[in-house]
Amino acid sequence: MPESGAGLRRRGLAPVWAPDARLLLLGSFPSAASLAAQQYYGHPRNQFWPLLSALWGEDLRALDYDQRLERVRARGLAIWDVYAACEREGSLDSAIRAAEPNDLAGLAARLPQLQAVAHNGGESARLMKVTAALGRPVYRLPSSSPANASWSFERKLAAWREVFARHGLLTP
């Protein structure tokens, strides 16, 4: 319910994970398009799926969503957001208000092979102190959002490749 001009209170998506995940990739909060589709990175201009496609040499965009998630789990990647709920109009991270954090420690406890946490963009990285407390390396990746136009796709890909390679997510 809107309060004093604030956006509607929205709930995020459930985490995507398997017990053998080695890297937890955290966004901030799903876009309006992602929430409507009930899919992570559902906005067609978001570069998340193209980045993973380039890293893994497979066009994930050609697969249906459930098949994409199968590939994600099989590669040792877990996906979630730092916020479980928030008030927001539109999709910009700068519009997030009254954010409720996800139970990141609870998820990490279910991932015995977890090696590291990577934040997809600046808003997610605001919780780096929380993820650092998990006792694993923490990375800030350039955002896959279309709003992050200052980084070219190739530059984003190089940064993502470095982290994925370091934790064994580039091999089948």
- 103-151 pLDDT, tens digit each: 999 999 999 999 999 999 999 999 999 999 999 999 999 999 888 889 9
Query: Is residue 54 left, alpha or beta, with left meaning phi > 0 and alpha meaning psi from -120 to 50?
Result: alpha
Strands (E) in the chain, as ranges, are: 9-11, 23-27, 77-81, 83-87, 97-101, 116-120, 138-141
**86, pLDDT greater than 60:** yes
Task: Establish how many alpha carbons lie within 13 A of residue 159's alpha carbon, considering only the half-sphere containing its beta carbon.
Answer: 17
Q: Distance between CA atoms of 107 and 103, rounded to whole angstroms?
A: 7
As annotated, the active-site residues are 46
Average pLDDT, the chain: 92
pLDDT given at position 92:
76
Q: Is the pLDDT of residue 65 over 80?
A: yes
Partnered with residue 138 across adjacent β-strands are 117
